[in-house]
Structure 1
């Protein structure tokens, strides 16, 4: 599962890292992004990458009630081609969700300890995402997304039994290319990220509330003895 993440990278660095020509909205540092909120997402249209905002929590186009989105913040990589909500999106509506860390909670003798998981070099990366557009009863269009998850790597496995799919930078273009659909190739990208490039450290329990979206959320603490 992936239920919280951060994206604190500066707009200039985002444009360079993800090959974007412009960002048409104000991008503020986010230290505790939660489901139901608008999040940055990157798609490719006729060879050009564009970044916009999608609501986190997928509402399939055929859904009768938008509340289903709160149950679909993640999509399991192993069953993408089987689930009706994801099968067509896997073929045609793939996106990148930029981030620079995510949170998971490790069970300890004294309760759950939130951990921040990130790259050792602190560089931004991209989750594999799927998106869709739902039209409400009054004609309003809602653009939403979900984050693909996979089994954990060596850094994450002692914290949680799932982790978000982090794409290798060289594979991001393949994931975004909607003109070439090779299910086996795409499925091969949905694997745990190289653990040797990642680290995890404990952070304050304040990240448990999405109301807390401040730099202290990512501050490393000393775990309770």
Structure 2
């Protein structure tokens, strides 16, 4: 799964990188400890072009009566996304990109203690996502989930799943700008895309903040 991300990209830089029109209200950056149910920056396309907007991280199916009416859907498995009632329409017509500078995953030691690791790239990463508008009492909440797939060799020693990472050349296809065939993009990232390092367990707290969260740490 992917349950914690970091984004240090300035809003103007994100808009320029994705050639997207930025919304007036976007999440504050930098944020080294972004947790589910908070708002994150997301790129999606429509008839006017690409847009950089804020969305709730935690996909809300249209049948939910309240935000906590069912499981917290922060991830969507690539292998079943086209079949799951919550995701199948979104994966066809409402795909998005989620800009991050990195994400965290935890590895258990022999005693069951979880040690965090930080995964990043040579530059910003674009994670595959899907989104949905959820309406309650006339108010609309735009929500999203990160698409995950099986781990590559870099990720596998820490966790068996990883987010789908979309290369810049494939952004148009994932966003639906370049026709059909986005399903082929939902595999593990090629080796060499990700860098991995152990980081301090202070990131285990969802209240932790600051750049020290991504500093290397000598885990046992």
Q: Pick the TM interval, shorter chain.
A: over 0.9
CA distance in 2, matches of 1:208, 1:148: 22
Aligned CA-pair RMSD: 1.7
TM-score by length of 1: 0.91
CA distance in 2, matches of 1:116, 1:80: 26
- Residue 213 of structure 1 deviates from its aligned partner by 2.1
- Residue 135 of structure 1 deviates from its aligned partner by 1.2
CA distance in 1, matches of 2:65, 2:21: 37
- Residue 68 of structure 1 deviates from its aligned partner by 4.5
- Residue 108 of structure 1 deviates from its aligned partner by 1.6
1:5 correspondence with 2:1: no
Match of residue 115 from structure 2: 113
1:55 correspondence with 2:73: no
- Residue 45 of structure 1 deviates from its aligned partner by 1.4
1:72-107: CA deviations, max 9, x gaps? 100000001110111111111111111011000011
Match of residue 16 from structure 1: 16
Match of residue 193 from structure 1: 189
Aligned residues: 218
Residues 125, 68 of structure 1: alpha-carbon distance in 2 compared, 3 angstrom cutoff: farther
- Residue 173 of structure 1 deviates from its aligned partner by 1.1
CA distance in 1, matches of 2:178, 2:139: 28
Match of residue 204 from structure 1: 200
Match of residue 170 from structure 1: 169
Deviates more, 1:156-165 or 1:207-216: 207-216
- Where does structure 1 lack aligned partners over 5 or more consecutive residues? none
1:221 correspondence with 2:217: yes
Residues 69, 52 of structure 1: alpha-carbon distance in 2 compared, 3 angstrom cutoff: farther
- Residue 69 of structure 1 deviates from its aligned partner by 6.5
CA distance in 2, matches of 1:206, 1:112: 11
Runs of 4+ in 1 over 6 A off after TM superposition: none
**Counterpart contact for 2:20–2:43, Cα < 8 Å:** no
CA distance in 2, matches of 1:169, 1:218: 24
CA distance in 1, matches of 2:23, 2:66: 31
CA distance in 2, matches of 1:167, 1:70: 26
Match of residue 44 from structure 1: 45
1:152-167 matches, within 5 Å, as 152-167=151-166
1:90-130: CA deviations, max 9, x gaps? 111111111011000011235211000111x2x10111111
**Counterpart contact for 1:115–1:201, Cα < 8 Å:** yes
Larger helix share, 1 or 2: 1
